Amino acid sequence: MLQTGTMRRVSRRAIVVSAAAAALGVARLRPLGRVVAQEGEAATPAVIGTPPAGIGAIRSTREGPVPSTGGSRPGPAGRVQELPSAPVVAPVGLTIPSAGVDAGIERLRVVDGDMPDPTGPWVVAWYENLGSLGQAGNVVMAGHIDFWNVGPSVFYNVANVQPGDPIVVSGDDGKRYPFTVEWVRQYDSTAMPLDEVAGPTPDQCLTLITCGGAFDYVNGHYLQRTVVRATRSGPGQSMAT
């Protein structure tokens, strides 16, 4: 689950990503009350990109009066600068073996500087007017860490990946694009280095954003953000081979 802090407008050259918070929601909405957070650490990453059988039986460990539906709180970014449209290779799948992620990707767009949230616990959002496969730039994606009435969600184990771990992004051109994790960092929700996290890059990079750290039950958000940066490690390979 993700949430922003204070929303900011940036220059034309930079993309501003603010705090990805506890339950992803539209960036202009405010939390309505106490929420639920799934706590605890997973000893062994589980494959959670696709919900296993019986997932409907999972319930959050603690309940509050206001459900975190994914639309009741601000989302993974505040004011961001969308880039001019260009021919793109759209990502359609994300695989992170070390985090147990094997997920589908939905296309979202930054609109008037606001970054919307993934629409559910198992899908990863790609912001198509920020960066795309097959060209230089920063491909920015976001996912929930947990979700009301579900528990651990698609990016629950993302903080456990290590530099050097492989990531594969599948494109709609029938190719798999390999990336290698460069770094994994935790930032205070109020002190994200926005240009560093989501600004333009000279080479093709992949940036994954989710929430992390302790959960503030009073204000209904996580106190930190987990950011994973990966760089392209090879050419796209046909899925047929």
Percentage of residues in the chain having pLDDT higher than 90: 40
**Which of these, 145, 115, 118, lies nearest to 7 by C-alpha position?**
115
Per-residue model confidence as pLDDT tens digits over 74-93: 455 445 555 545 557 999 99
- Domain contains 5: no
- Over the Cα atoms of the chain, what is R_g? 17
CA distance 5 to 216: 13
Containing structural domain, residue 174: 71-81+90-238
Q: Which residue has the higher pLDDT, 107 or 1?
A: 107
Q: What is the DSSP string of 127-172?
A: ETTT--BTSSEEEEEE--SEETTTEE-TTTTGGG--TT-EEEEEET
Query: Within a domain: residue 94?
Result: yes
**Residue 146 placed within a domain:** yes
Phi, psi dihedrals of residue 169, rounded to the nearest 5° = -115, 125
Here the CATH number for the domain that contains residue 193 is: 2.40.260.10
Residue 56 DSSP code = G
Q: What is the pTM of this model?
A: 0.68
199 within domain boundaries:
yes
Is 38 part of a structural domain of the chain? Answer: no
Q: Residue 214: which pLDDT band, with cuts at 50, 70 and 90? A: very high
Question: What is the Cα–Cα distance from 142 to 17, expressed in whole angstroms?
Answer: 11
Q: Assess if residue 120 is contained within a domain.
A: yes
Burial of 128 (C-beta count, 10 Å sphere; 0-12/13-18/19+): buried
CB 1 within 8 A of CB 211: yes
Residue 179 to residue 59: CA distance in whole angstroms: 34
Domain assignment of residue 76, yes or no = yes
Higher pLDDT, 181 or 58: 181
Q: How many domains does the chain have?
A: 1
- 2: in domain: no
Arithmetic mean of pLDDT over the chain: 73
